[in-house]
Amino acid sequence: MTGVGVRRGATNLISSVSWNVELDERWVVLGGNGAGKTTLLRVANAELHPTTGVAHVLGERLGRVDVFELRTRIGLCSSALLARVPAEEIVRDVVMSAGYAVVGRWRERYDEIDTGRADELMKSLGIGHLGDRTFGTLSEGERKRALIARALMTDPELLLLDEPAAGLDLGGREDLVARLSELAMDPDAPATVLVTHHVEEIPPGFTHLLLLRDGSVVASGLLDDVLTSENLSATFGQDLILERSGDRFFARRKG
Ligand SMILES: Nc1ncnc2c1ncn2[C@@H]1O[C@H](COP(=O)(O)OP(=O)(O)OP(=O)(O)O)[C@@H](O)[C@H]1O
């Protein structure tokens, strides 16, 4: 993205964002409520066109490309998508139907390769035993993992995860962080962008960080350089102390 802004009425959802994600990078996007994280991800998912500036996704310039075709190369996991999955859908079908960009009452025929791939992905995300269940019977954490398996089903070149740990309990969060860490360290995994509110949710193996506040970039670059108490304080507008324990991060207010 070069100088990307998205405007709705008199409001700038994001302004002058310049950001470059390479295929072997794993990015975390961190910012408070309303900072513009989802807006940024929707541009990356070719759902929103910039009002100003230029955005290229997987080498294609938005506004000059068939976005439906482009989106087949992108895997997305978001709460909006989660809300659209019918409760009675079989979990394996939720994962497999990604190739057809549909959720719910699909009537496609899948071959054994599809079934095998779906089962393999579910296994790698720790839900291999849940393929025959209906989506509505899964816990929140299991649903998130099923949607990540779905996002990976088409072997995307770009994986976008919008707050996948939101609403999970401590155990569910830790499990998801561990799975995402494994994914981040897999050299065959796609370029990944993970949106979150919490430094505690940054999975080891993520390489870069973009900090957003009020639609503008506070700092971006290598995670080890950018994730500091000073930058975090500037992002959330209060004095914060960042602590590191092993390969995980924690933040709290000063004093
Ligand atoms: N269509 C719209 N018209 C006006 N304002 C909008 C519109 N869509 C979003 N906004 C505003 O733009 C800002 C950024 O929204 P966005 O959803 O990108 O934030 P976010 O960082 O993902 O927030 P959260 O962490 O709360 O999910 C918010 O203040 C939101 O109210």
Domain membership of residue 112 (yes or no) is yes
Q: Is 231 in the pocket of ligand 1 (CB under 6 A)?
A: no
So what's the pLDDT on residue 101?
A: 52
Q: Taking 50 as the threshold, does the pLDDT of residue 105 lie above it? A: no
Ligand 1 atom at shortest distance from the alpha carbon of 39: 18
Task: State which residues form the domain around 170.
Answer: 23-47+66-220
Q: Is 150 in the pocket of ligand 1 (CB under 6 A)?
A: no
User: Taking Cα atoms as reference points, which of 196, 136, 117, 188 lies closest to residue 163?
Assistant: 196
Question: What are the tens digits of pLDDT across the range 3-53?
Answer: 999 999 999 999 999 999 999 999 999 999 999 999 999 999 999 999 999
Q: Is 34 in the pocket of ligand 1 (CB under 6 A)?
A: yes
Domain membership of residue 10 (yes or no) is no
131 and 116 Cβ atoms separated by less than 8 Å: no
Sign of CA dihedral 218, 222, 223, 226: negative
Element (DSSP H or E) covering residue 44: helix 37-44
Q: Measure 214 CA to ligand 1 centroid, in angstroms.
A: 10
Which residues, at least 6 apart from 16, have a Cβ–Cβ distance to it below 8 Å? 3, 4, 5, 52, 53, 216, 217
- Strands 2-8 and 52-54 come out as antiparallel
Report the chain's mean pLDDT, rounded to a whole number.
Answer: 92
Q: What is the DSSP letter of 72?
A: T
So what's the pLDDT on residue 134?
A: 96
Question: What are the tens digits of pLDDT across the range 45-75?
Answer: 999 999 999 999 999 999 888 998 899 899 9
Q: Measure 92 CA to ligand 1 centroid, in angstroms.
A: 33
Ligand 1 atom at shortest distance from the alpha carbon of 212: 21
Question: What are the tens digits of pLDDT across the range 169-186?
Answer: 888 889 889 989 999 999
Domain membership of residue 252 (yes or no) is no
ipTM exceeds 0.90:
yes
**Number of domains, the chain:** 1
Q: Is 131 in the pocket of ligand 1 (CB under 6 A)?
A: no
Domain membership of residue 165 (yes or no) is yes
Ligand 1 atom at shortest distance from the alpha carbon of 14: 14
Domain membership of residue 208 (yes or no) is yes
Instruction: Indicate the top mutation candidate among 4, 12, 17, 39 to test ligand 1's pocket, ranked by most ligand atoms within 8 A of CB.
Output: 39
For 117-199, strand residue ranges (E) read 158-162, 191-196
Domain membership of residue 176 (yes or no) is yes
Domain membership of residue 242 (yes or no) is no
User: Taking Cα atoms as reference points, which of 203, 155, 199, 154 lies closest to residue 176?
Assistant: 203
Q: Measure 162 CA to ligand 1 centroid, in angstroms.
A: 13
* Gyration radius from the chain CA atoms: 18
Domain membership of residue 229 (yes or no) is no
Q: What is the CATH number of the domain that holds 114?
A: 3.40.50.300
Ligand 1 atom at shortest distance from the alpha carbon of 215: 14
Write down the pTM of the prediction: 0.91
Q: Whose CA is nearest to atom 12 of ligand 1?
A: 13
- Say which residue the tokens 């079934």 belong to: 115
So what's the pLDDT on residue 68?
A: 87
- The mean pLDDT of 138-152, rounded to a whole number, is 91
